[in-house]
């Protein structure tokens, strides 16, 4: 019920090397880039990252911070394949568990409900089972006897997400057209850190949208970080769209060169990587 506000650096100080870290958003949309920047400034490494991958994955992979990635894709949306992730994968820098989008979602659902797995049809008849030999199937105990993939829970030590608005208690509001699965990331994690465009009083959260926009509940949140522009250069609709020029610069610049500007610039907003 108390004040959970903190800085991005304070949030990252709660993390440790070797953790399993979930990162919200989708591709190059509403990624918690201010928190990712703070993470890159830290010495934290050897991470298992669970993400609908975008530049969060590309940056952490390029910096050598990921031991294992669990993801259905890694994309910049307008640039189909995240180039820094691809480079890291091609040189064998990380282990990859590539699964179907629905399998990923049900893995988060299983973790959120503290279940060891959930049955899912996605993956049956595909190469998902071949490239992930550790996956198992389960047969329905009812009359139909259908076979499902037993998708293991994607349990997270911590989650990082970004939303449009939040209050100091940890209630988070998504004002854009798609909430993605940020609430599931928070529910699947032992600790969740939510950055937002603006911290508002609790009463104001119902003024800008319907109650259904209050997706993230305070009981799942450990810390709240006010970070205007904190998803840049990814989009955070309706507050701002994706900065295509900055994203293209990121995609075509060697990581070491881009990182010098990205990590040494302001924490948030369109000038965070320099001008």
**Closest by CA position to 154, among listed 192, 96, 103, 195:** 103
Q: What pLDDT score was predicted for residue 275?
A: 36
pLDDT of res. 200: 96
Domain ranges (residues) in the chain = 8-100+154-264, 115-152
Q: Is the dihedral of CA 63, 65, 69, 72 positive or negative?
A: negative
The pLDDT tens digits for 156-202 are 999 999 999 999 999 999 999 999 999 999 999 999 999 999 999 99
- CATH fold of 8-100+154-264 reads Glutaconate Coenzyme A-transferase (3.40.1080)
Helices (H) and strands (E) in the chain, counts: 9, 11
> What is the pTM assigned to this prediction?
0.95
Phi then psi dihedrals of residue 183, to 5 deg:
-65, -40
Tokens of 171: 């209630």
**In the chain, beta strands by DSSP E:** 20-23, 47-51, 66-71, 95-98, 117-120, 136-139, 147-152, 156-166, 172-173, 189-199, 223-226
- For residue 264, what pLDDT is reported? 84
Residues of the chain with pLDDT under 50: 274-275
């Amino acid at each position: 019920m108390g004040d959970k506000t903190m800085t991005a650096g304070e949030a990252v100080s709660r993390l440790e090397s070797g953790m399993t870290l979930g990162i919200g958003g989708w591709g190059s949309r509403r990624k918690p880039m201010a928190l990712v920047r703070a993470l890159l400034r830290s010495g934290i490494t050897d991470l298992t990252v669970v993400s609908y991958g975008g530049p969060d994955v590309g940056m952490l992979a390029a910096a050598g911070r990921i031991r294992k990635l669990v993801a259905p894709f890694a994309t910049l949306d307008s640039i189909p394949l995240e180039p820094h992730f691809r480079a890291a994968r091609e040189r064998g820098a990380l282990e990859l568990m590539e699964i179907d989008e629905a399998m990923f979602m049900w893995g988060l659902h299983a973790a959120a409900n503290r279940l060891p797995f959930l049955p899912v049809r996605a993956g049956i008849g595909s190469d998902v089972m071949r490239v992930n030999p550790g996956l198992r199937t389960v047969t329905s105990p009812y009359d139909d006897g259908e076979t499902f993939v037993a998708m293991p829970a994607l349990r997270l030590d911590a989650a990082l997400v970004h939303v449009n608005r939040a209050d100091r208690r940890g209630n988070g509001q998504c004002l854009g057209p798609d909430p993605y699965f940020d609430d599931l990331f928070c529910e699947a994690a032992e600790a969740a850190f939510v950055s937002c465009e603006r911290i508002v009083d609790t009463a104001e959260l119902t003024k800008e949208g319907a109650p259904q926009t209050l997706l993230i509940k305070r009981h799942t949140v450990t810390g709240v970080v006010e970070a205007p522009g904190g998803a840049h250069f990814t989009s955070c609709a309706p507050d701002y769209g994706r900065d295509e020029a900055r994203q293209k610069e990121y995609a075509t610049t060697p990581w070491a060169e881009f990182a010098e500007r990205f990590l040494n610039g302001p924490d948030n907003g369109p000038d965070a990587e320099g001008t």
